[in-house]
Chain A
């Protein structure tokens, strides 16, 4: 049986770990709520932008819009949206596994990667993939600017003809207990059109030019949504795993306390036996 002091020290350390996991859980819960709120706030803008594009597209010569251009796919790009930090259960591992599998299926050398989050960058750098750009360390003070920057470089990459398709792999926020890794095509843009035309409208500049400026905006919002989904998922995953860690720590404390009491009683019993034995020997 372990000695009393060792057990007491272990209980103390487990208790302090439990404090940390509990605090992390609460921080993650607060951050998750914030991300969810921002997701709500982004919705009106993104809906309106898509609506207008849907109205304009039927009248526009689509051959002139490079971002809708479906080309033969010789080379792809992947935007992998991950977290900067771990301690969030299988959040990063799951996503990276799926992203890597998809990339490998197409051919590692025919894929360019945009890494969002340190975990993605480290994973693909270590395995020698073609990384075009990495965006890290922005999650804490995430602004729409970040999404715009990522969106812009992805659009440039597609427009210049380096890649013929851009995918995004991210964690979709189903609910607090569930996140789902999703892979979606960002470019070329697939679009439904709405033929019901409001009559006699003024367009300035031309419809073509309008669509041309609207599509990048739409993509930026899309990217912003991906970032928010991922961030909310990350915090939810962390919240859950920290909750598990806290309750595991509770179990450990229970076991250790039991062990400690047993050891203490055994020590007392031994001591009493010694006294009794000693008294008998004297008597």
Chain B
């Protein structure tokens, strides 16, 4: 199957994955797939799951959002965080989810609804991806 080059860049690391055949990203307006010879473009990503098919195997990653730059037969994902599904500690993800839920209910004086909502969504996403 024809393939394209994929790089994932975050502020703390750079993953050069090389040739992959398929990529699925959580776009802001819904998930989208990328294959070889995709139209060029820039698409914003939200918190969610990234699926990558390479050498006939599928891998899943949790991301905190960012954007995808699709160029001529190569894709660069600029995301704030990326974690492969097998590297996520699901117990820890479960705990941070519970923490976020608790914070949402408690409403401390320094409660910031947006921030709690973001951490809740992230924790749920990580937990979901870790079960892959």
Smallest Cβ-Cβ distance to A206: which chain B residue: B44
Residues from chain A with a CB closer than 8 A to the CB of B11 are: 41-42, 45-46, 144, 147, 220-221, 224
Given contacts A41-B14, A148-B80, contact A202 B40 (CB under 8 A): yes
Is B28 in contact with A205, judged by CB distance below 8 angstroms?
A: yes
Given contacts A49-B78, A204-B28, contact A41 B44 (CB under 8 A): no
Query: Cα distance A217–B42 when bound, in Å?
Result: 15
Which chain B residues numbered 47 to 104 have a C-beta less than 8 Å away from chain A? 66-67, 69-70, 76, 78, 80-81
Residues of A contacting B43 with CB < 8 Å?
202-204
Which 7 A-B residue pairs are closest in the complex by CB-CB distance? A202-B41, A204-B43, A45-B9, A45-B11, A201-B41, A201-B40, A42-B11
Mostly helix, strand, loop or mixed at chain B's interface?
strand
Residues on the B chain within 8 Å of A202, using CB: 39-43, 70
By the criterion CB–CB under 8 Å, are A203 and B41 in contact?
yes
Q: B12 on the interface (CB 8 Å rule)?
A: yes
Cβ of A175: which chain B residues have Cβ within 8 Å of it? Answer: none
Give the Cβ gap from A64 to chain B, nearest Cβ, in Å.
17
User: What is the distance, in angstroms, from A52's C-beta to the closest C-beta of chain B?
Assistant: 6
Please report which residues of chain B, range 93-132, place their CB below 8 angstroms from some CB of chain A when the two chains form the complex: 115
B37 at the interface (CB under 8 A from A): no
Residues of A within 8 A of B76 (CB): 48
Closest to A48 in B: B78
B residues contacting the other copy or chain, number (CB 8 A): 25
Q: List 12 A-B contacts (CB under 8 A).
A: A45-B78, A49-B78, A144-B10, A144-B12, A198-B40, A200-B39, A201-B39, A202-B41, A204-B29, A205-B44, A210-B42, A213-B44
B68 nearest CB neighbor, chain A only: A204
Residue of B nearest to A55 (CB): B42
By a CB distance below 8 angstroms, the chain B residues around A63 are none
- Find out whether the CB atom of A210 lies under 8 angstroms from the CB atom of B9: no
Q: How many whole Å from A111's CB to the nearest CB in chain B?
A: 23
